[in-house]
Structure 1
């Protein structure tokens, strides 16, 4: 498993690394200070030392089945040396530590039970002394508890880091979706206005040059305004107002020769709701111009029974409602603020969009 956190170091040694724990081997050689070891004892220890170190270092950071050979080798070395000295019970602590930190769930319990059972069998057969077994079981239990607690803390830390990474990734996705929706609404309306006005300018260029000049000036203003809004969206500063959105949709509808009926009785709206209403209005009106073939468009915004409602309807060709990127973006934008979005074909013709937000007049959002 890839290490998620940096190991803490003291005097160059990692506190949660393999080398620092070798200090426990001092308990193995301590009896030699009191009484010199027998030749077979120190010779066997000398031969076992490199085997132990290789198995220990190779298996310390392993997880799952990959650590099994190292656990088995260290435990066999402990039992083998235990035939010569009870101090070899210290070696079994390393097998216990690796088993606890490398295994999880039932597998961990099986390893601990298995090592205990093998130790008990060796005592019964007289291979190791009861002092060896007592030291292995007692200190092994302490090592298992300490290692398990440390593993739990590491698991929790890794879970928190993963959760934080997921939250950051979700925030990035949310921000990308916000930028995508806002750019779609801004670019869609602005380019629709530019296309309509450029067509109109080209038609009247020869007969009414002043009129054409006015349309070109409007195109310039729309383009500059769109560029400013796009930059604001990218910086996360875009907060469209109903006043600005109303002027923009009026310009677009005028260019498309669609009569607008507008009414707004809502005041002092929260910024987030006003921005959402403004963007929904822009996208809905852009769809009217592009697809409805309408001659009139009605927009009504009012506050009623603690809620803000906006209705946008047209007298266009109506027909089946197809959710594309635009309508889908409107629906998600409204849902993000806990609002309700509805769209329906009208009788005898036309389409009606309705947006509803519950209001909390306790404070602005």
Structure 2
């Protein structure tokens, strides 16, 4: 597999930023569902106009038809505003639009009654009477559908639907509507309004469920990071706890020996100095993550972490017989790419592939859910991957133990992916300097003559490719 060059990365990123539909692709899944719901209810206003507003002019004539069209336009506009504000209230962005709901209810009643009055007191017959009656029913049905968006209680939803249906019959009869027509109108409002009310309640429930699931996913990622920090704390305690205890003991012994004028005090302090220097080196190894990583464990850990986060993950290939330094370098690539997919973008599927090609071990990590601004820039043989932070996710079930050996914000100096630096965005690999982010991975791969490239490849996909030369005869690939 040929690494992505700078030209391919630049072109892919420009297409993601400025291509058709970039506005839609830049939204998260919950935001897409919200946009779809909003415009569906705005389309209800258009449907109301097309259903009764425009045909009524041809049926009722220019004079009466124009007045009916004007009333329908006003009603459709108020319905659209009510739907928008009711959805904002549902998502907790504003207070419940109680006054607007009452206004819409009163407006629907006034328009429907006005339509019946026109039929009774004006010489309206034939198609004109039919058009006016249609305005009466459709206005009530769309009014019920928009009002129920702003009501949370099911009992109140039922009350609104039943109330409008009963009111339709109660108003029709005194204004001279025949019993049969009044009954038909009542049932039309009951079933039509009930259907739109059910649609409104279901749409609100679905929208809230999507946002709650998205919040749960973020919480799960934060919990994985918190667990990783705890593991890092335990590792640090294992390294420092015993050494500090020995340093304290030997220092106390040296003090007692010095007070007695014993020459052994110098030897004890020399030993304290040696242990302190050893502890410094061990802490540096923990913080920088220079402990050797097992590539097989990292691949298993990546699968566990992504699966636990609700992302479909497929791992193909497992190269055996690799030297420790090659496994460590590629293991870090797997770890950092997994962190990026977990905490950034809107990935639903990730594929991790490992294979040998022409004496080179090739590691490929590809995921969907790339958003605008998520591609960092890449150069020849080196690129930028999906962004991450210094925090690392881990598999809370234990399958990601190997992927979490090095870990929290403290070891960013060894290669944590950050959102800062370069041109990376929410899903871009930060090119922070000083051994962090892309620079850290580049250093690790350079040490084994490897290269790194990453960038969008179209269709909302992002691909990271790491290649390390390898010529040992005992290198095998297990599928």
Give the TM-score, by structure 2 length.
0.40
Query: Residues 300-331 of structure 1, C-alpha deviation per residue, up to 9 Å, x if partnerless?
Result: xxxxxxxxxxxxxxxxxxxxxxxxxxxxxxxx
**How far is the alpha carbon of 1:28 from its aligned partner?**
0.9
Q: RMSD across aligned C-alpha pairs, in angstroms? A: 4.0
**Per the alignment, do residues 127 and 196 of structure 1 end up closer, same or farther by CA in structure 2, a change over 3 Å counting?**
farther
**Shift of residue 163 of structure 1?**
2.8
Match of 1:112 in 2: 161
Q: Name the CA shift for 1:40/1:110 in 2 (closer, same or farther; >3 Å).
A: same
In the TM superposition, what is the alpha-carbon distance from 1:81 to its structure 2 partner? 4.1
| Distance of 2:292 and 2:195 partners within structure 1 | 55
- Length, aligned pairs only: 235
The 1:177/1:93 distance shift into structure 2, 3 A limit, reads farther
1:42 aligns with 2:66: yes
Q: Distance in 1 between matches of 2:210 and 2:221?
A: 16
- Answer yes or no: is the 8 Å Cα contact 1:59–1:66 preserved in 2: no
- Is 1:92 the equivalent of 2:132? no
Note the 1:205-354 alignment, pairs <5 A.
207-208=263-264, 209-210=266-267, 212-232=269-289
**Residue-by-residue CA offset, 1:315-351 (whole Å, 9 max, x unaligned):** xxxxxxxxxxxxxxxxxxxxx99xxxxxxxxxxxxxx
Deviation at 1:159, TM superposition (A): 3.4
Do structure 1's residue 121 and structure 2's residue 170 form an aligned pair? yes
CA distance in 2, matches of 1:41, 1:113: 30
Q: Deviations over 1:51-99 (max 9, x none)?
A: 6514541443314752532441343244234324112122223222223
Q: Deviations over 1:119-163 (max 9, x none)?
A: 121123227663644543343233234334433433432332233
Deviations 1:26-69 (A, max 9, x none): 11134435424363453354256336514541443314752532
In the alignment, which of 64, 77, 92 is matched to residue 53 of structure 1?
77
Aligned to 2:113: 80
Partner of 1:35, secondary structure, is helix
Whether contact under 8 Å (2:169, 2:186) holds in the other structure is yes
Separation (CA, whole Å) in 2 of partners of 1:184 and 1:214: 21
| Larger RCO (CA under 8 A, 6+ residues apart) | 2
- Determine if the alignment matches structure 1 residue 165 to structure 2 residue 218: yes
**Residue ranges of structure 1 left out of the alignment (5+ in a row):** 239-335, 338-365
SS of the equivalent of 1:46 reads helix
Counterparts of 1:47 and 1:21, CA distance in 2: 12
Once residues 204 and 224 of structure 1 are traced to their aligned partners in structure 2, the CA distance between those partners, rounded to angstroms, is 28
Distance (Å, rounded) in 1 between the aligned partners of 2:292 and 2:157: 50
Change in CA separation of 1:111 and 1:172 when aligned onto 2, cut-off 3 Å: farther
Matching of residues 130-149 of structure 1 within 5 Å: 130=182, 132-149=185-202
Instruction: Report if aligned partners of 1:197, 1:215 keep a CA contact under 8 Å in 2.
Output: yes
Larger gyration radius, structure 1 or structure 2: 1
What do residues 247-283 of structure 1 show as CA deviations (whole Å, max 9, x unaligned)? xxxxxxxxxxxxxxxxxxxxxxxxxxxxxxxxxxxxx
Quick one: distance in 1 between partners of 2:292 and 2:147?
51
